[in-house]
Amino acid sequence: MTALTGPGGDSAVGECLAMFPGQGSQRPGMARHLLDTYPSARLLFARADEIVGRPLSRICVSGTAEELARTEITQPAIAATSLAVWEILREAGYRPAAVAGHSLGEYPALVAAGVLSLESALRLVRLRGVLMGEVAREVPGAMAAVLGLPADRVHTACEGAEAAGLVQVANYNEPLQTVISGQAHAVALAAEIAVEAGAERVVPLDVSAPFHCSLMSAVEEEFAEALTDEPFADPVLPVISSVTGSYVHSGEEARQLLRRQLTEPVRWVDVLHTAEQRLVSAYTEIGPGRVLGGLTRRTLGDVLTRSTGDARRLTAFYRSLTPVDWRSPIAS
C-alpha cells in the first residue's frame, strides 16, 4: 500500500483514497481557479476541448447553470475539471493508496490508475453524456433521494410502486440516503410509500435522465461498442469499482464494469467500507464540489476528509505537498 508523506517526511497526508465526484457536483465557474493559476490545468483543458469538440475551458469558467445542466455537457465538464485537479496534485507528488469514482467519477479514477488514457476517457464520457441525454428526451424519467430510511426499506417501497411503472434503486450513497430512479410516475409513488414507511423526506433530483436503472439499457449496446474500441490497461493503482464496491483486477474487467454501470446502482457505501478495510485514513475529493466528503463522514464517522473543489482548499492541500516553492504553478 502506498504511503504519502507530508512535509519533512511525516505521515500527515496518510493513506489516502482519491475520490472523483459524479454528476451533480458541477457549478458555474468550477474551473476558474484552475485555469487562472495552474499551467498544467490550461494544457489539460486545451486537450479536452479538442477531444470533446466543445469549449469546455469556457464552459467551466463562464458557462451558465443551465448550460452545465445539460447531460452531454455536464459529464465531460466534470470529468475534465477532476482530471485537471488530479494532474495538479500528481505533479506535486500526490500518490493515493487507492482511487474510486462515483458513477461518472469512475472515468477520471481509471485515468488516475493508468487504465484509460485521457483521450479514451473523454471520448467515452462525451458519448455517455450524449446517449444518456437521448434517453432523457425519450423517457419521462426521474430520480429522487430518500433520506432517513434504510436501504432495504427503500427497496420495499420500489417494489410497492411496481404497478405504476419501473422504479429501482440507483445509488447507495450512505446508510440513510438511497437514490431511486425510473419512470417519473413510479418514482413519485415509491417516494410516497417511502415517506409512509418513515423516511424523513424525499428530495427530487435535478437531473435530466433516469440514471442507473434498466431504462438505460436502450443505449447499452451502442455504448458497449464504443468501449470495445478503446484500449484498457491493467491498473497501476488499486481501483475500487462503484458497480461492485470491490477492487478492479484488470483492464478487461474495468471495461465490462463501465458497461454495467449504465443500468446498475452505484454502491458507494460498499466502496467506502472496502477502503476502510484497507486502513485508509484520509479521503480526498478530487474535483468540483464536496458531496463525497459528506457521504464519507456520514458513512464512516469521524474520518479525515479533504476537498479540492475551490481555490482555498486546493491551495491548502497543494501547499502541504509542495512546501519548497508555493509559487511554482502560478503563471506570471
The CA–CA distances, whole Å, from 307 to 57, 108, 235, 295 equal 21, 16, 24, 12
Catalytic residue among 25, 57, 103, 181: 103
Amino acid code (one letter) for 279? L
Note if 103 is an active site residue.
yes
Note if 181 is an active site residue.
no
Amino acid code (one letter) for 236? V
CA angle 191, 20, 273 (to 5 degrees): 70
Alpha carbons 106 and 84: distance in angstroms, whole number: 15
> What does the DSSP assignment read for 222-284?
HHHHHHHHS--PPPSS-EE-TTTSSB--SHHHHHHHHHHHTTS-EEHHHHHHHHHHTT--EEE
Grouping H, G, I as helix, E, B as strand and the rest as coil, residue 304 is strand
Q: What's the DSSP call for residue 176? A: T
Residue 30: φ, ψ to 5°: -65, -20
Catalytic residue among 82, 102, 212, 241: 212
Residue whose C-alpha cell reads 413519485 in the numeric block: 188
The CA–CA distances, whole Å, from 71 to 34, 95, 128, 172, 307 equal 22, 31, 9, 21, 24
Tell me the catalytic residues: 103, 212
